[in-house]
Structure 1
């Protein structure tokens, strides 16, 4: 099948690009074919975000979105920031003492899954063909130019045999292809390497973000309240394991709670999932959750390197946008508005190339000028050192640097804080690490992994090739277990990886059915032995309103 524009991924950036292209084409009365392929069972099924949403890009795309029944209704009314000293105590940080980028006046508490469902409807109404349940498994590259993608085969058994339900993948070709897969997209990762797009940049840095949705008692709910925390249960003073939490009071008596754990942590015994469970027991969080009911769970990697790690976003035949490139503004803890804007700029550039009938790589160079002169670049420039400061100086001194930089100098202190060590390289050996013993989950505010995965509605066709590929099947036991006590059994938030003991024998078991597509294993494995690729279409989580 051939199209003018092919978009991989129906998230904020991909759908915004699709809508923008069709708006431009329709305004010129020009026929352009645009196709979006999405690996989830439906648009929004794989979208997970906090989320406090800045509507600036949406307002550019649909100025009258408030009159179009957009699922964006809960405006932020109160911002609170706490430093958690330990498991019981906390200090509320006054507004002047934390970065102004964390203030949320004019922003909204939303489900980005539902926002993307709405954007998908808008895209289809404009004439975009949206195909959920189709994975982009491979890239078509001819003469060093991207020509499209190949969708994944369906109906292949785990042993490689073709089942009665076998349907081969198809070639989807396009004049230009936009890769909008989200953080650590498996094709985006290949494109960055293939075209050397990160030359001269710091490596990308990541966090693992958890999210739960709770129904809470009415007297504990305050619609529009936004709470952020730093410190406990992660590092309070040093740089060994940093991150922060959030608690957002949404509509309909629900709150969303989560923890972001920076994936440059050093102790191999650390379990990000269990740190999240600990967090919920702190009085600042527990006072809202107690007596409530947990109704949804999910986790997703977050690209947080910012401008210092942002690769070149154009290559012959297409572009890489949104969180697939790493456009999140970490100083704001927001990436949806920047992802949308990057997709819109890509759309404008590609539309111009199609109208000019050149469709060459040189024709996409104008994107660099559009990006450099836009508000997205200004935001990312002002926040370029935010994550690096926390990594280098810890939450207190890094936070102090960021507060001074953002509040007094608008992010324009004349420094570039380099952060050139990849996250997985920070992991220390077990011989130089202290073992962490986590308390048993109480079933009230803290829970185990398997009951959590159940709430993510995750499912995969069981008889299919495992989509978590080991470069060397011996490494988990012969290398990782000896040096790091195989950290995959702890860093995975879904219980995918296990060490199974039978007598004196130990084997590495992959429970691929549990995978919620967070990509943490692809990022944090200390031997870089695991590669995440797409399973069959529709596989993975089915988030209802994350």
Structure 2
């Protein structure tokens, strides 16, 4: 396809991704210099369509970006009033008191939000500053000149299933910039390309991930407690995997119910989606949801590597922002504030460089800010929590991790140093022969649901005549390697039922139902053979989350 001629447009800064990092960068660029030309490209059908987050928002990023956000009507109104933490068993729970936890774990003064709606509001602020925002524009390629990133290809549409141009083919455009800011979110395809091409992870720990699944429920008004935050650990995962849940009470009798499974689990028979469905039958949760109805569902990978897994962030002409860089604080279950702070820092570095007459070089000021400023102060004290959990299990990590965080909180020094993660999540997957299959109860259709029924509540849509965006490096691997060695875990780790092994006369075959894909990226992360490459489908396709 390299011979295709495309029109091009030039900007000062091109931003890929309409999440909190990209939107914050766009706004800050215009605040620093209203004359800068800034374009933001979003693959979702609208800003917010692909945003999925818990979310309890630490407003530190928003405070810095738009200090008068309350007066401007930001959809940030449900302040946390109660903060609960439980360890679950199969039939009951033990509440962990708040007093032994370091102050950084306190959610009081934070806000329960729909991050999708926050991003929609941020987009309005950006457009008021004359940022050009183009939703439905998937960025499928980076454009290079020599060693430098000079832009992206966006808006290519109308390809046939075999990749050839169809009758309604549109080649898309090259959008070129003095700097390109990559804010695609977790495991974005362009960020993955840059990390590989420039070896940005050299000298850093591998990135670690979790799979976050979320439902929005409308519950009995008598049970609604706006401002209440509940987190749990323990059952149903037990020793099978790390992870936990969140239950956040919004206004309007809505409850955000989420479940996170760390993707470094060993048992290939683990079925994260069914663990989530089973969790809702715990008495603590079932009593809350009884008589209510689920109104939305979605799933998203979460970067969990923390401080030691942040790669080098700059290459000539481009920089990684937000979850493309991996800035989530795992014990706090928060990353939106750091995403916004990274967008602000990258924007200030780019604006300064352009004012000095530079372009296409590395934004070293951005990297320096991230590694010494508020993001570093947020992530460094908690850097051992995730590796401790992975290596020692839940209880030991609670004790040791709590001790390490407390000392770091009081002194700025981590007594446990910096623990390493070791294996990637793909490498952590064990052989099927070493484990027993897990028997999961059937969903009851009231509290728990099968995958395909729930995917309908993500409002996902893909044009079916386009090429499959889930690329197999070797089509033979799923049946020849993954099935005999790992019982083909793609049929279970995918929270949208994209992958199936079908039996036929000629033996088993691997089927990809890409139309179901909710763009969570779990397959790209967890496939033990690293044979699946997630790429962008045409713009506007995928989930259409209303207010995740």
Q: What interval of TM-score do these two structures reach, taking the shorter chain for normalisation?
A: over 0.9
* Conserved 8 A contact 1:3-1:33: yes
Aligned 1:157-196 pairs, distance under 5 A? 157-196=160-199
1:20 matched residue in structure 2: 28
Listed as ranges, the matches of 1:148-159 within 5 Å are 148-159=151-162
Q: 2:209 touches 2:305 (CA, 8 Å); kept in 1?
A: yes
Counterpart CA distance in 2 for 1:390 and 1:4 is: 44
CA distance in 1, matches of 2:425, 2:398: 20
CA distance in 2, matches of 1:436, 1:462: 34
User: Which residue of 2 is the match for residue 299 of structure 1?
Assistant: 299
The 1-side partners of 2:262 and 2:303 are apart by 10
Task: Give the corresponding residue for 1:322.
Answer: 322
How many angstroms apart in 2 are the aligned matches of 1:472 and 1:163?
A: 26
* Residue in 1 that maps onto 2:517: 515
Partner of 1:71: 75
Alignment root-mean-square deviation, CA: 1.1
Deviation digits for residues 30-80 of structure 1 (CA, Å, limit 9, x no counterpart): x21000000000000000000000111101111100011100000000000
* TM-score, reference length from structure 2: 0.96
State the 1:369 CA deviation. 2.8
In 2, the alpha carbon distance for the partners of 1:501 and 1:100 equals 54
Task: After superposition, give the CA deviation of every residue in 1:85-139 in whole Å (9 maximum; x if it has no partner).
Answer: 2x21110111124444332011000000000000001001001000000011011
From 2, 8, 27, the counterpart of 2:16:
8
CA distance in 2, matches of 1:499, 1:528: 18
1:196-215 equivalence runs, <5 A: 196-215=199-218
Bigger mean CA deviation after superposition, 278-287 or 181-190 = 278-287
CA contact (8 A) 1:210 1:298 kept: yes
Q: Which moved more, 1:348-357 or 1:372-381?
A: 372-381
Gaps of 5+ in 2: 1-8
How far apart are the structure 2 equivalents of 1:482 and 1:313?
39
- In 2, the alpha carbon distance for the partners of 1:454 and 1:223 equals 27
Which of 46, 49, 56 does residue 42 from structure 1 map onto? 46
- Secondary structure of 1:312's counterpart equals coil
Is structure 2 residue 378 aligned with structure 1 residue 379?
yes
- Equivalent pairs counted in the alignment come to 537
Query: What is the DSSP-based 3-state SS (H/G/I as helix, E as strand, rest coil) of the residue aligned with 1:138?
Result: strand
Partner of 1:398: 397
Q: 1:342 and 1:398 mapped to 2: Cα distance?
A: 29
CA contact (8 A) 2:178 2:360 kept: no
Distance of 2:256 and 2:418 partners within structure 1: 34
- Partner of 1:413, secondary structure, is coil
User: 1:371-414, CA deviations, whole angstroms, 9 ceiling, x for partnerless residues?
Assistant: 23321111111111121111111111101112112234417323
Partner of 1:10: helix, strand, or coil?
coil
- Say which is worse superposed, 411-420 or 110-119, in terms of deviation: 411-420
8 Å contact kept, 1:517–1:541: yes
- Tell me, yes or no, if the aligned pair for 1:207 and 1:302 is still in contact at 8 Å: yes
Check the 8 A contact 2:155/2:170 in 1, yes or no.
no
- How far the C-alpha of 1:366 sits from its partner, in A, is 1.7
Structure-to-structure mapping, 1:122-521, within 5 angstroms: 122-235=125-238, 238=239, 240-362=240-362, 364-410=363-409, 412-414=413-415, 415-503=417-505, 505-521=507-523
The 2-side partners of 1:499 and 1:221 are apart by 42
Cα deviation digits, residues 266-298 of structure 1 (max 9, x gap)? 011100000000111111111111110000000
**What is the TM-score of this pair, normalised by structure 1?**
0.97
* Structure 1 contact 220–287 (Cα < 8 Å) conserved: no
- Residues 384 and 404 of structure 2 are in contact (CA less than 8 Å); yes or no, is this contact kept in structure 1? no
Whole-Å Cα distance in 1 between the matches of residues 75 and 261 of structure 2? 28
**Contact 1:100/1:406 (CA < 8 Å) preserved in 2?**
no
Report which stretch shifted further, 93-102 or 12-21: 93-102
Q: How many Å separate the matches in 2 of 1:534 and 1:515?
A: 11
Contact 1:36 1:131 (C-alpha < 8 Å) held by counterparts:
yes
2 CA distance for matches of 1:144 and 1:159? 31
Contact 2:407 2:413 in 1 (8 A): no
Residue 426 of structure 2 aligns to a residue whose secondary structure is: helix
Query: Whole-Å Cα distance in 2 between the matches of residues 459 and 368 of structure 1?
Result: 37
- 1:135–1:151 contact (8 Å) kept in structure 2: yes
- Contact between 1:15 and 1:119, CA under 8 Å: does it hold in 2? yes
2:26–2:347 Cα contact (<8 Å) kept: yes
Report the equivalent of 1:535: 537
* 8 A Cα contact 2:136 2:155, kept in partner: no
